């Protein structure tokens, strides 16, 4: 049975690939873009099943208007995909205040506001699915991506809480956690102004790896997107979807390290309760 999807950030990358795949299989898509004309070729081919809407997710009022209009125009929207976002690279003190604000406004607050705008409509229609595109960087951290990780770790905590709040309404969430892949993410990075003092540090090492091409991009974005689409038919929805071998290895290592440290503190944790 065909589905109707609402997807943000469809000009390129995962959003564009997902839109192409869904239209090709017969689904209907409401696709948001920041620049008009980005999906003109698809609009010409699938005019009856593709609604293209201009949207900047940092404009919370616009997010609500666009989401409201989409649910009004369609009998039902089965899946909302919060995909809009970008990467910001630089050691923490290399970044400007404005770069940090823009990163948080787009990746974190924009995603939160999209979800908040969709919830009343999903409740009214009796349920639905929200796919939040996070990253392996929602569980694991690379030096040089501190602000980006703040947004991804933040949205994962938000989703964990909201999923519990709305489970009784039939609304399910999946956090997609892709690892490095050959998309426009790297070329589209916003960067801070490098400070020479960071060149010999891990942040400098990552910077050089990205510039000389040695930063491994082993993930297949087409396979990633297909895996995200497939989750829409899974019951119950997987809370997390780890995509790519490097993501699996990095996330597992990070979780194991945190668990080991937690276990070492068990006696201290219990010892700091109120005395019986």
Give the per-residue pLDDT at 104: 98
Q: How many helices (H) and strands (E) does the chain have?
A: 10, 9
For residue range 190-249, list pLDDT tens digits in order. Answer: 989 999 999 999 999 999 988 887 777 788 999 999 999 999 999 999 999 999 999 999
Name the helix (H) or strand (E) containing 144: none
Half-sphere exposure of 193 (CA within 13 A, CB side): 3
| Domains of the chain in sequence order | 4-271 (3.40.50.720)
Predicted local distance difference test score (pLDDT) of residue 189 = 83
Structural tokens at position 259 = 């668990």
Per-residue confidence (pLDDT) for residue 252, from 0 to 100 = 97
Please tell me whether the overall predicted TM-score, pTM, comes out greater than 0.85 for this model: yes
Percent of the chain with pLDDT over 90: 90
What is the mean predicted confidence (pLDDT) over 24-44? 95
Please list the active-site residues. Answer: 134, 148, 152
Answer yes or no: is pLDDT of 36 > 90.
no
Quick check: 181 pLDDT over 80? no
Mean pLDDT of 258-269: 98
* Across 64-84, average pLDDT: 97
């Amino acid at each position: 049975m065909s589905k109707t999807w609402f997807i943000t950030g469809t000009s390129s990358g995962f959003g564009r690939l997902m839109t192409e795949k869904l239209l090709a299989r017969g689904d209907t898509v409401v696709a948001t873009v920041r620049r008009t004309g980005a999906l003109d070729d698809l609009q010409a081919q699938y005019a009856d099943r593709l609604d293209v809407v201009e949207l900047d997710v940092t404009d919370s009022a616009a997010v609500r208007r666009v989401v409201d209009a989409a649910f009004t125009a369609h009998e039902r929207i089965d899946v909302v995909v919060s995909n809009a976002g970008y990467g910001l690279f630089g050691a923490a003190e290399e970044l400007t205040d404005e770069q940090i604000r823009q990163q948080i406004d787009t990746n974190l607050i924009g995603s939160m506001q999209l979800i908040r705008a969709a919830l009343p409509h999903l409740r009214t229609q009796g349920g639905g699915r929200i796919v939040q595109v996070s990253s392996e960087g929602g569980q694991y951290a690379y030096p040089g991506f501190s602000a980006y990780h703040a947004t991804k770790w933040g949205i994962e905590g938000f989703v964990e809480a909201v999923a519990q709040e709305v489970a009784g309404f039939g609304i399910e969430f999946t956090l997609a956690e892709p690892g490095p892949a050959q998309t426009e993410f790297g070329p589209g990075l916003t960067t801070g102004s490098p400070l020479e003092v960071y060149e010999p540090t891990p942040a400098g090492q990552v910077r050089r790896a990205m510039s000389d091409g040695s930063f491994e991009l082993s993930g297949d974005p087409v396979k990633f997107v297909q895996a995200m689409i497939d989750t829409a038919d899974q019951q119950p929805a997987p809370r997390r979807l780890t995509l790519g071998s490097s993501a699996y290895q990095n996330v597992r290592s990070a979780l194991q390290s945190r668990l080991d440290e937690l276990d070492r503190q068990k006696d201290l944790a219990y010892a700091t309760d109120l005395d019986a």
